[in-house]
Amino acid sequence: MSAAVGTEPVAPVGSAAIELRGASKDYGPKRERVRALDNVSVACGRGSWTAVMGPSGSGKSTLLHCAAGLEQLSSGQVHLAGKDITGASDRELTELRRRDIGFVFQNFNLVASLTAEQNVALPLKLAGVRVPASQVREVLASVGLADRRKHRPRELSGGQQQRVAIARAMVMRPKVLFADEPTGALDSNSARQVLRLLRNMVEGAGQTIVMVTHDPAAAASADSVLFLSDGRIVDHAVAPTAREVADRLASLEG
Amino acid sequence: MLRLSFSTFAQRWPLFAGAILTVCLGVGLVQSSLLILISAATGGYVEAITLLAITLAVSVFLAVFIVSSTFAFTVAQRRKDLALLRLVGGSRKQLRRLLLSEALLLGLIGTAIGVPIGVALMDVQTWLLGTLGFVPGGFDPAWLDWILGVSAGIGVGVAVAGVLAASKRAAAVRPLEALRDTGSAAKVMTGTRWFFGLLFLAGTVALVIVASFAGPVAAIPLTVNSALTAAVALSALSPLVVPLLGRLLGLALRGSALGRLAQANLTDGVRRSASTAAPLLVLVALLLGQSGVMASIGEATEREQRRNLVGDLVVTGQGAPGAGLAETPGVASVATRFDVPITVTTRTVDDGEVETETEDDAALAIDPETYALANPAMASDGALAELSGDTVVVGDDSGFAAGDTITVAIKGVESGERTMRVAGVLPPALDSPYVVIAAESVPADVAATLPSYSIVKLAEGTSPEAVASAIEQRGLGQVSPLGDWIGAQAVKQQDVSTGIMTVILGLSGLYALIAVVNAVVIAAAERKREFAIARLSGLSRPQVVRTALVESLAVTVIGLVLGGVAAAGTWAGIGMATHRILGEAVVVVPWALLGIVVAGAFAVVTVTSVLTSLSATRPRPISLAGAGE
């Protein structure tokens, strides 16, 4: 099972949008150390959509956080858009979050006091990018919220809030989008809508998506699925059906 | 970026309204105290200057303390929002700029509201000073345009300074914290807290030691200062105490689920608990510290008088009692004292220029031989016997030494000032006169206008009542037994002390009280979502309100206990001072005030906590719990 080399979707170095090499992450003080990621090597090609699945505590979220530079690896390397970000400074990581990566989370994480439009424009403002207001409106329209732009998050449904969050991630045209349970808090209709939007990002704009999910249906929308258990990659499936995903997951949890 | 601030204002208005409230009251109080002080100084109301200077110092301190701690608290409360900004590409610099420009804006708004409040407060303070007799009726403090600069400096400067350290900490927030549920994961006992806590603790100890060596006049400002430094020290270190108290609370409410929840919340929200306790801590430290010091000085002075004065009756009259008193049958000896208003001129040579300073004061005028019989303690080291028509003797904390010269002018004497030699220094005493002159130095026509007190010793075997009525029949003055007179003097002094306390702490205390309420309101308003989740977990609305109340009361206990500790420090100082002078430590704990403060604090916090948590739990819980905010 060691590192499951055969099943890794390792693409040739250079063409990967995101690549982890021998990535390990430990938590806690020395004596009661918990290894959340154990020597994981994985690469996602440009314009690919990878789903990460696994039982609770398998290290899915840690993988995502480390890949996005939100957490430091204990050992190993992370390359993002051709750059080694393993030991990047806060300034470099900030720049990275501005230009190259976007986030979508289960609980939306919108700024409650800003309208949908203002939330979408926020990354632009922070990056000091001047864009016409019409462009922000276009992005909102592309997620089907043209008529909701003046609403605040609490006046929107969960599905609408998640679409605002996706619009916020889209507006900077990031190379990689990290999504943590993007459909976890949504009803199935809203979830389908969100997954369609993510598919458009991959197909239309050639963006790369790494998505952690519990939902086999969501995972089946991705190009490939990685299965994690105890911090290791234990399986890999290309374009599986929801049923296949559910079966493999069940075998892991069982 | 400021748009974000504006929209945040709308979202979290209790937080920002609370911050603005502390700024505008602080600005108003400082502005008013400063204007009154300047008017009193330029108008020559010398008696009031020291008092007003202390009042100003307390106002400035409270404004700085309350505004900066409130602002730091508001920043700490928004950790999660700030982490979210970091997540979508905000840099540390941008976060700091956002927080600082917010503080600037809030400071400006607070100043704009605070200036007119200051004008209104000036009327209140002037009325207070006039009513208590510290300034004459016609006293009308003048408006000075440049005060606007000072007010803006206090309002904006303190707000920004308060946020400066907090914003540095907040900017270091990790983006990942936006994804965690609790936003206040930051370490509470920061290096800065340790540094200032220990620094001010050391300062307090130093001040208490200095106060124990100072005379009663200097002891009051020193102990006020030590109460302030102790308040800073203890509030900086208070996060250390919170978990301890949480554990005690857990023991007290053992077995009750609500008690356990309250304990957990208290310990979990250490920063919130500490911030809420801070203004109460200061209020208690100042109020109890100062009133304890004043009551102790009063009590010790009274004991000293009872011990030192020898005699049976005191005759109060105007001018010298004349030979009639001494000749009244049954009177063995008479010692008369006048309090003579004088001015003391000191000249100091500074860079070749002579600087002249004139101070109003009161001299004790006595006949050294007869007075030595009535107050043998004062005469005990022989200095008093050196007093003659050409010399003075001085109290031990007057700053003069034997052999110095002193330039004195008795008010109402045409011939003007006289330069006299200091013949000796009196032994230390609480009721120590500044300057003692011989009665013969006071012209008879001036003496005739002054109130006099004559301590009368009776011949053995005579009835005090008979002699007293004989003296009164002869129209020589009002007679009271010595003990009663000393008691009446002490009561009079107590009234003056109460007046002083009211001037110094009246409005400042009110400010601190408002800050207590403010802190409770802010803390509860920020917990809407937490309350909602507690209700979704099965707590009823009254149970949530009760849990919040238990927490608030526990925080009140922290404020009261730490404030009490700070006050006790100042009492220790006065205990040492009285022990040094009197030979016994006199510490009067102001139990009545203590009771009022404790009951008042609990009442105010209970009402505020219940009202705010009722209001915070008004929306249906599901509408708040799901919002992710």
* Percentage of chain B modeled with pLDDT above 90: 11
The candidate with the shortest Cα–Cα distance to B27, out of B103, B100, B109, is B109
Which residues in B259-319 belong to E strands, given as ranges? 313-318
Amino acid letter for position B526? E
DSSP tag of B272: H
Higher pLDDT, A77 or B444: A77
Of A130-134, B163-167, B226-230, B620-624, the poorest mean pLDDT is in B620-624
**Candidates A107, A109, A127; nearest CB to B89:** A127
The mean pLDDT of B446-472, rounded to a whole number, is 87
Does B175 contact A90 at a Cβ distance shorter than 8 Å? no
- Predicted confidence band of residue B242 (pLDDT cuts 50, 70, 90): confident
pLDDT, tens digit, 9 for 90 and up, residues A145-175: 889 989 988 888 888 998 899 899 888 889 9
Does A111 contact B4 at a Cβ distance shorter than 8 Å? yes
Of A104-118, B164-178, B388-402, the poorest mean pLDDT is in B164-178
**B512 in Cβ contact with B282 (< 8 Å):** yes
Amino acid B3: pLDDT: 62
User: What SS3 state is found at A42?
Assistant: strand
**Candidates A97, A154, A161; nearest CB to B88:** A97
Q: How far apart are CA B83 and CA B607, in angstroms?
A: 34
A129 touches chain B (CB under 8 A): no
Q: How far apart are CA B440 and CA A44, in angstroms?
A: 106
Amino acid A2: pLDDT: 36
The count of other CB atoms within 10 Å of the CB of residue B113 is: 18
Query: What are residue A177's DSSP bridge partners?
Result: A102, A209
Amino acid B265: pLDDT: 78
Q: Is the pLDDT of residue B145 over 60?
A: yes
A116 touches chain B (CB under 8 A): no
The candidate with the shortest Cα–Cα distance to B589, out of B303, B207, B291, is B291
Higher pLDDT, B418 or A79: A79
The candidate with the shortest Cα–Cα distance to B404, out of B416, B392, B412, is B392
Q: How far apart are CA B612 and CA B615, in angstroms?
A: 5
pLDDT, tens digit, 9 for 90 and up, residues B376-404: 888 888 888 888 888 889 888 777 888 88
Amino acid letter for position B581? I
pLDDT, tens digit, 9 for 90 and up, residues B426-458: 888 888 888 898 888 888 888 888 888 999 988
Amino acid letter for position B256? S
User: What SS3 state is found at A210?
Assistant: strand
* Percentage of chain B modeled with pLDDT above 70: 94
Residue located via tokens 């003579």: B340
* Helix, strand, coil content of chain A in percent (nearest 5): 40, 25, 35
Amino acid B9: pLDDT: 65
- Predicted confidence band of residue A64 (pLDDT cuts 50, 70, 90): very high
Q: Which residue of A has its CA nearest to B93?
A: A91
Query: What are residue A209's DSSP bridge partners?
Result: A49, A177
Amino acid A52: pLDDT: 94
Does B4 contact A105 at a Cβ distance shorter than 8 Å? no
- Predicted confidence band of residue A109 (pLDDT cuts 50, 70, 90): confident
Structure tokens at B302: 């009274």
Mutate to test the interface with A, among B78, B82, B86, B88 (most CBs of A within 10 A): B88
How high is the mean pLDDT of chain A?
86
Q: How far apart are CA B22 and CA B163, in angstroms?
A: 14
Does A113 contact B10 at a Cβ distance shorter than 8 Å? yes
Higher pLDDT, B176 or A64: A64
Highest average pLDDT, of A7-11, B180-184, B440-444, comes from: B440-444
Which residues in chain A are contacts of B181 at CB distance < 8 A?
A: none
ipTM: 0.84
- Predicted confidence band of residue B181 (pLDDT cuts 50, 70, 90): low
Does A113 contact B11 at a Cβ distance shorter than 8 Å? yes
Label each residue of B314-356 as H, E or C: EEEEECCCCHHHHHCCCEEEEEEEEEEEEEEEEEEEECCEEEE
User: What SS3 state is found at A43?
Assistant: strand
Residue located via tokens 């356990």: B260
* Sequence-ordered list of residues with C-beta below 8 angstroms from that of B52, at least 6 positions apart, any chain: B33, B36, B37, B40, B503
The count of other CB atoms within 10 Å of the CB of residue A9 is: 18
pLDDT, tens digit, 9 for 90 and up, residues B86-137: 888 888 888 888 888 888 888 999 999 999 999 999 999 888 888 887 887 7
Residue A66 C-beta-side C-alpha neighbours within 13 Å: 30
Residue A28 C-beta-side C-alpha neighbours within 13 Å: 7
User: What SS3 state is found at B498?
Assistant: helix
- CA distance between the termini of chain B: 20
Q: Is the pLDDT of residue A6 over 50?
A: no
**B340 in Cβ contact with B442 (< 8 Å):** yes
Residues in chain B: 629
The four Cα atoms B124, B125, B126, B132 give a dihedral, to 10 degrees, of 110
Backbone torsion region of residue A237, taken as left when φ is above 0, otherwise alpha when ψ lies between -120 and 50, otherwise beta: beta
User: What SS3 state is found at B11?
Assistant: helix
The candidate with the shortest Cα–Cα distance to A154, out of B493, B443, B446, B625, is B625
Q: Is the pLDDT of residue B7 over 80?
A: no
Amino acid B505: pLDDT: 82
Q: Is the pLDDT of residue B2 over 80?
A: no
* Sheet strands side by side (includes A101-105): A101-105, A176-180, A208-212, A49-53, A224-229, A232-238
Q: How far apart are CA B141 and CA B52, in angstroms?
A: 12
Structure tokens at A184: 């976890």
Amino acid B628: pLDDT: 42
H helix or E strand, kind and range, residue B421: strand B418-425
Amino acid letter for position B221? P
Q: Is the dihedral of CA B110, B115, B117, B121 positive or negative?
A: positive
Amino acid B570: pLDDT: 87
**B564 in Cβ contact with B288 (< 8 Å):** yes
Q: Is the pLDDT of residue A7 over 70?
A: no
Q: What is the DSSP string of B46-72?
A: HHHHHHHHHHHHHHHHHHHHHHHHHHH
Residue located via tokens 């917010």: B102
Amino acid letter for position B312? D
DSSP tag of B5: H
**A43 in Cβ contact with A16 (< 8 Å):** yes
Mutate to test the interface with B, among A25, A62, A70, A91 (most CBs of B within 10 A): A70
Residues in chain A: 254
C-alpha angle B558/B564/B566, rounded to 5°? 105
The count of other CB atoms within 10 Å of the CB of residue A137 is: 16
- Predicted confidence band of residue B8 (pLDDT cuts 50, 70, 90): low
> For B177-256, where are the alpha helices, taking DSSP H only?
191-213, 216-252
* Percentage of chain A modeled with pLDDT above 70: 94
Higher pLDDT, B395 or B259: B395
Does A109 contact B178 at a Cβ distance shorter than 8 Å? yes
Amino acid B563: pLDDT: 92
How high is the mean pLDDT of chain B?
83
H helix or E strand, kind and range, residue B435: strand B435-438
Q: How far apart are CA B469 and CA B392, in angstroms?
A: 36
The candidate with the shortest Cα–Cα distance to A232, out of A88, A20, A48, is A20
Amino acid B187: pLDDT: 64
The candidate with the shortest Cα–Cα distance to B68, out of B140, B144, B159, is B159
Of B245-259, B271-285, B475-489, the poorest mean pLDDT is in B245-259
pLDDT, tens digit, 9 for 90 and up, residues B558-615: 899 999 999 998 888 888 888 888 888 889 998 998 999 999 999 999 999 999 888 8
Amino acid B116: pLDDT: 94
Whether pTM > 0.80 for this model: the answer is no
The candidate with the shortest Cα–Cα distance to B522, out of B612, B615, B614, is B612
**B105 in Cβ contact with B4 (< 8 Å):** no
Amino acid B560: pLDDT: 92
What burial class does residue B255 get, using C-beta atoms within 10 Å of its C-beta: 0-12 exposed, 13-18 middle, 19+ buried?
exposed
Amino acid B623: pLDDT: 65
Does B179 contact A105 at a Cβ distance shorter than 8 Å? yes
User: What SS3 state is found at B475?
Assistant: coil
Amino acid B598: pLDDT: 93
Interface A–B counts its CB contacts (< 8 A) at 74
